[in-house]
Amino acid sequence: LKTFNIDFCQIEIGNIETSSLESLLVNRYLNARKIILVDENTHDCCLEYLITTFPTLEEAEVMLLPVGEENKVMEVCFQVWEALSEYQITRNDLVINLGGGVVTDMGGFIASIYKRGLDFIHIPTSLLGMVDAAIGGKTGIDLGVLKNQLGVFQYPQAIFIDQRFLATLPENELVSGFAEMLKHALIADGDLWNVLKGTDFITLLNSPKFSDFIAHSVALKVAIVAADPYEKGERKKLNFGHTIGHGIESVCLLEEPISHGHAVALGMIAESYLSYKLELIQERELVEITTTLSNYYDHVQLTDSAKKSVIELIQNDKKNDHTGVKCVLLKGIGEAQIDVHVSNERLLDALHYIDSVFRAN
């Protein structure tokens, strides 16, 4: 078992059966009522294992959230809050979020707001959740198609990361999570990038060493978050690929949703291009990044009007201030530069660049 701490939140990576979950449940939360939040897929794939492994959870109330980013919205939160109220859940009770990033983001938000805050635990079940979404205390929901516009920073009591849950995760979702692992390498660890870019992901996933890569990725995020827990400065680095990525993800939400990691991967291609245009990385590095990413992630052809919508949506990105759009760009591979102003013309140019990468393939 590998463990990390951010403030009072303990992160344990490894076999959940030998983790401190059991003692937490029977000691600190012995008299608490437990609410397990799942979506339809984690209900079917992960819940039974959890309940049979931890008999204290047999009595838990299970609440089912609808699957997908399009449901990471206030209407669903309201329904859960009403149900919590109906079950007379008190501030001493415990919410357990069992799912991918949608469940942990929304479940963390629901728990943080209800009666000014219930304790909650994250058990991420997607790769993206394990290496990224569950870590770092950001909870939240979307406002219409605008991503993560409502939310609070609130750390869970504990996070339990067990690779066993990945056994039922569809391959495209595994590849989605890999995008955030690649991102952590690009912004913070050039040596890791050199390993990942030269390794086939599926081979890596099936190797006994994969849990070390999960732990490494978590460690990179923990180090960044611990130094700047409320994103006043350096933590913004973690948003590399996300300014343009979120714009693309939002536009696709209206028609045919794509996975978060897929959108971020396309965003990383575009933002690497911007890094190159601003002479922050060399052409050779740009080619290396685009070749690696375009090998795993499909092109999404946006029409001119969809590209325009992406630029419009980016104007509402959380990292902006009144001086305009600010991106996180790469400064060489393994480092990032935050708060770089980028004009709308450049953003559009970067969207066209994505097309050119895939056209060339």
Residues in contact with ligand NAD by the rule CB under 6 A: 39, 41-42, 45-46, 67-69, 72, 99-103, 105, 125-126, 128-129, 132-133, 136, 138, 147-148, 165, 168-169, 173, 176, 259-260
Q: How far apart are CA 350 and CA 344, in angstroms?
A: 10
259 or 276: whose CB is closer to ligand NAD? 259
235, 237, 262, 307: the catalytic one is 235
Give whichever of 167 and 360 is closer to ligand NAD, judged by the CB atom.
167
Catalytic residue among 138, 184, 237, 307: 138
Give the gyration radius of the chain's Cα atoms. 20
Q: What are φ and ψ of residue 21, in 5° steps?
A: -60, -45
Known catalytic membership, residue 116: yes
Active site residue 221: yes
Nearer Cβ to ligand NAD (221/326)? 221
Distance CA 232, CA 235 (A): 7
Catalytic residue among 69, 180, 249, 271: 180
Residue pair 36/61 in contact by the 8 Å Cβ criterion: yes
Q: Which residue is nearest to ligand NAD (CB)?
A: 101
The catalytic position among 43, 147, 237, 246 is: 246
Q: Which amino acid is at 123?
A: I
Question: Is residue 138 annotated as part of the catalytic site, yes or no?
Answer: yes
> Which is the catalytic residue, given 260, 262, 307, 326?
260
242 is catalytic: yes
| Whether residue 260 lies in the annotated active site | yes
Nearer to ligand NAD, 24 or 133 (CB): 133
CB nearer to ligand NAD: give 190 or 229.
229
Q: How far is the CB of 136 from ligand NAD (least distance, A)?
A: 5
Q: Token pair of 22, please?
A: 């059991």
Work out how close the CB of 243 gets to ligand NAD at its nearest, in angstroms, rounded to a whole number.
13
Residue 280 phi, psi (nearest 5): -95, -25
Question: Is 34 among the residues known to form the active site?
Answer: no
- Catalytic, 180? Answer yes
246 is catalytic: yes
CB of 46 to ligand NAD, least distance (A): 5
Residues annotated as catalytic (active site), given as ranges: 116, 138, 180, 221, 231, 235, 239, 242, 246, 260
